[in-house]
Structure 1
């Protein structure tokens, strides 16, 4: 069971904006919009990695830093509808969802594993 005190972060689900262009094809601009109300979650950073960036075959283009984080939320119909195509906004950082699994038993919690660039 998840205690209320463990859910100490507010996360916002972001979904790719629906829309089209003049040719009737979908908008691939990558813009995301707020989906539903904020959700209480527990946040746990799993690992951080850094690597040298590459630009045109030259090294020293910068260091790319990423963090892998899991967000644990209570199971709900809104949380159930989240997919790996969505994003999570937490404390001003946008995370890309890389995996979703049940946690703490059937229909008790969902765990979103996500990555974010921390060097921006």
Structure 2
């Protein structure tokens, strides 16, 4: 995949990081904004539906390409990404082969919620 042109970074993405907090009954995971929003290129790779244990689930797998910065290089699959009203779990992060100034994030979101 070639490096994106500036005009192709049309999506605004935001990141969230989970922290453990005590809710009075025990430790629970709470998502909080992490860092500033970033510009990215979005490419949907696949979508699908699952039928398992009487549940119907729909999801989309998407690749986001964004500039590599000190902040984006610190992202991990424990973080999540928000774009266009969907929350995406990050399943993979890699340096873009064509241009190491960019990172590719492979993400999956449930589209039935």
TM surpasses 0.5:
yes
The alpha-carbon deviation at position 21 of structure 1 amounts to 6.1
Unaligned stretches of 5+ residues in structure 1: 55-60
Please report the TM-score for the alignment, with normalisation by the length of structure 2: 0.87
Question: Aligned ranges for residues 39-118 of structure 1 at < 5 Å?
Answer: 39-54=38-53, 61-103=54-96, 104-106=98-100, 108-118=101-111
Map of 1:119 onto structure 2:
112
Q: What is the distance in 2 between the residues matched to 1:18 and 1:6?
A: 36
Q: CA RMSD in A?
A: 1.8
- TM-aligned CA distance change 1:20 to 1:53, over 3 Å: same
Structure index of larger Rg: 1
Question: Does structure 1 retain, via aligned residues, the 8 Å contact 2:82–2:88?
Answer: yes
3-state SS in 1 of match to 2:71: helix
Map of 2:33 onto structure 1:
34
The alpha-carbon deviation at position 20 of structure 1 amounts to 4.4
Map of 1:11 onto structure 2:
13
Please report the TM-score for the alignment, with normalisation by the length of structure 1: 0.83
Corresponding residue pairs, total: 110
Question: Does structure 1 retain, via aligned residues, the 8 Å contact 2:21–2:29?
Answer: no
